Structure 1
Amino acid sequence: MRICFLAGSNSVHSIRWISYFVDRGFEVSWISLAPATPEAQGLIAKTHYYEITPSPLADYSGRQALLNLPGAIRQVRQILKKEQPAVMHLHSAGTYGLVGVFSNFKPTILTPWGSDLFFASRLKRLVQYLVVGRAQLIVCNGEKIRERLLSLGAVETDIRIINFGTDVDIFKPDEGARLPSNLEDSAPEGALKVLSLRAFHPVYDLKTLINAALIVTQQKPNIHFLLVGDGPEKARLKAAVQIAQLQKNVHFLGRVEYVDLPALLNYSDIYVSTSLSDSGLSAATSEAMSCGLPVIVSDSADNRDWIAHNKNGLLFPPSAPQQLAHAILQLADNSALRHKMGASNRALIKEKNNYSEEMAKMAAIYKKMAGVDSPKR
């Protein structure tokens, strides 16, 4: 059985998703509108990979993006005619979704990422209506995004909730973990380490974490903050750290390879997410929970469905640095509570967000839509 993914080869979520099916004997065609990251290269070699050029992957207000759109649709149609997949899966309700649904291939499955559907411009909302209305099935990973899809005209019976899942055999507690040697870290031995893995984009609101760090370190200077990632807000965030004179306590670690994340999570003591919006439970938060970390997350999206306040983590109002600081100090002063929350989180992810189990559900959907019982081997 052949699946065609119209998905970015620069997306860690798509790479993880496609890896599962390649590793289990499915034949995979992969069409990307963006250049591949180094992390994708090994997987690309195991698929029939195509990169669309010139790409329409740009802001919808960009004239060149619109000019490139018809050519991209033609290329995708030609690839589909050549590859003859049993089903096509579109990763995102934005440009990928638009190119995919106008290729006129059926059956087509759509998986919107959370950022596709929220904080969208008027033109992007129009695109969402078009994409959502033309997909035969929509797979999402949370109740909030399901509600948004219904508001865009999706039929309730055409929506399935499948969690993205976490590989619990890779992301697991390891008391002896050390920070990977290739990562620079200035936190002294014995410091309590607060970790964020969210990219430096406005939607993830890292400024709130920096403002909270200022409050926290005034009371407990031995608490250090590790910020992993990159993005357009990086310069502004670094400037905010300098203005607050937090250089000794806030450390920018840059991008971290996926293989190094389990060690980094185990090296840390508390995980924090300040995101203003997510689709279901974010992958980073789930990975932290699977490693047995206590988590402090904004009370947004579906986080309340996964985090019971004061049970397996702490919730705080979005963009509220005072409340976030209070939560960090609460956990910093109570190692027993941190360990109790971490153990609860590990059990929860193993039970309800296991990558292998969630992808097995997805495999069943592919087979049903394609009308086959098992992948070709």
Structure 2
Amino acid sequence: MICRDDCKIIFLASAASVHSHKWVGLLSSSAYKIYWISTHENNVGKISSNVNYLEFTKGGAVFRFFQALCALYRLSAAGKVIIHVHYIGYYALLAYLRPARRLVLTAWGSDVLINSRSFLKRVFLKLALARALLVTYDGGNMKKRLLDLGCSSNKLLPIRFGVDTRKFCKKAHAEDFGVIKLISLRNHERIYDIETLLKAVKLLYVRGFHIKLSLYGTGYDSSRLNNIKNNLGLESVVNFYGRYEYNELPSILKGNDIYISTSLSDSGLSSSTAEAMACGLAVVITDVGENSMWVKDGVSGKLFVPSNANSCAEAIQFFIENSASRIECGRVAKNLMRHSNDMRIEAAKMKNAYEGVFAHA
């Protein structure tokens, strides 16, 4: 029997990430003492009172890292401790410098799918994975890469990021009848290929469809994408809204008809896609990664060929011309998220996994 009074879970994760807030928040309801160390400023929202949050954002990068490392040593000095790293990069280095018997790593996607292409990062990933007692992942493509990096299969546990189906439960309902409202939430970086979406919207506009596209998110590519919008003559069709407050997202999604993701790479189902599906939107997404496992073409959404504007336009046009299919696909997607991708179910799996990790001598 584990004495929970003597057990701590120390999260090392960026407080600037919504993903970190969602997971630490859900797991904070466990019986263990929860600590969270971040060297990134919390600009997302309030942190649960059950979490002992330590933020180190003053001074230079090396000073912040040293402060966080000292705090990690201090907190992990006594009792049974799990150090749980979200994203196997910067924070994994922090954990690596504090050797611990109970190290849990959660891969997010780009940390293993993209960073492993760099020789030095690949070497570090192998070292971190070798030290970990448990490694969680979301998506079969990540599992394959983790195995390629030398991670033992008996360390691997699939835990989906999931979606908060209680928060994202509003039925999608666009109020501007006669105009089909499209929305994208992916950031403005080349990997998300927003340029293809703009070209697809141009094709639909030329075909005479009454559409509006709302582009949320930010990134280094925003200026270039805005120029592309203007060059395509889409000033009256496309609006850039930038960063959004996460708590406002259910209402934002509710006011749209079709969600689109042009991402060139996804590990598992992206959070924004899952949230749109949970709200009952029809989704049009690239046929990459495990997207086809979640979106059955014409049943729970539409898939299209990556970087192919015509393929994207055809998929969107299908939903514009078939309102009954649009509504039915949204209904199927909503039920799928509720029954197969609820983050509370996934959090319960993680809590059970902690029991096994704490039992490790």
What's the TM-score once normalised by structure 1's chain length? 0.87
What is the aligned partner in structure 2 of residue 9 from structure 1? 15
> In 1, Cα distance between the equivalents of 2:68 and 2:280?
45
> In 1, Cα distance between the equivalents of 2:119 and 2:289?
21
SS in structure 2 opposite 1:88? strand
**Correspondences of 1:1-377 after superposition (within 5 Å):** 1-37=7-43, 39-40=44-45, 42-43=46-47, 46-52=50-56, 71=66, 74-81=69-76, 84=79, 86-120=81-115, 121-174=118-171, 190-371=178-359
> In 2, Cα distance between the equivalents of 1:35 and 1:44?
16
Instruction: Return 5+ residue gaps in structure 1 as ranges.
Output: 56-63, 179-187, 373-377
> In 2, Cα distance between the equivalents of 1:294 and 1:100?
41
Residues 1:76 and 1:92: Cα distance change in structure 2 (over 3 Å): farther
Q: Deviations over 1:1-30 (max 9, x none)?
A: 421100000010010001112245542110
> In 2, Cα distance between the equivalents of 1:319 and 1:92?
27
Q: Deviations over 1:326-346 (max 9, x none)?
A: 111111100000111111111
How far off its partner does 1:277 sit? 1.2
Are 1:214 and 1:244, in contact at CA under 8 Å, matched by a contact in 2?
yes
> In 1, Cα distance between the equivalents of 2:319 and 2:57?
50
SS in structure 2 opposite 1:310? coil
Q: Deviations over 1:108-147 (max 9, x none)?
A: 1100111112232333222222222221110001111001
What's the TM-score once normalised by structure 2's chain length? 0.91
> In 2, Cα distance between the equivalents of 1:26 and 1:200?
39
> In 1, Cα distance between the equivalents of 2:280 and 2:22?
21
Are 1:98 and 1:130, in contact at CA under 8 Å, matched by a contact in 2?
no
Residues 1:83 and 1:206: Cα distance change in structure 2 (over 3 Å): farther
How far off its partner does 1:177 sit? 7.3
> In 2, Cα distance between the equivalents of 1:6 and 1:85?
17
Amino acid at match of 1:173: K
Number of residue pairs matched? Answer: 352
Deviation beyond 4 Å, 4+ runs, structure 1 = 67-70, 82-85, 175-178
What is the aligned partner in structure 2 of residue 184 from structure 1? none
How far off its partner does 1:236 sit? 1.0
Instruction: Return 5+ residue gaps in structure 2 as ranges.
Output: 1-6
> In 1, Cα distance between the equivalents of 2:193 and 2:199?
11
SS in structure 2 opposite 1:86? strand
Are 2:73 and 2:98, in contact at CA under 8 Å, matched by a contact in 1?
no
> In 2, Cα distance between the equivalents of 1:46 and 1:110?
22
> In 1, Cα distance between the equivalents of 2:119 and 2:286?
27
Question: Identical aligned pairs, as a percentage?
Answer: 34
What is the aligned partner in structure 2 of residue 182 from structure 1? none
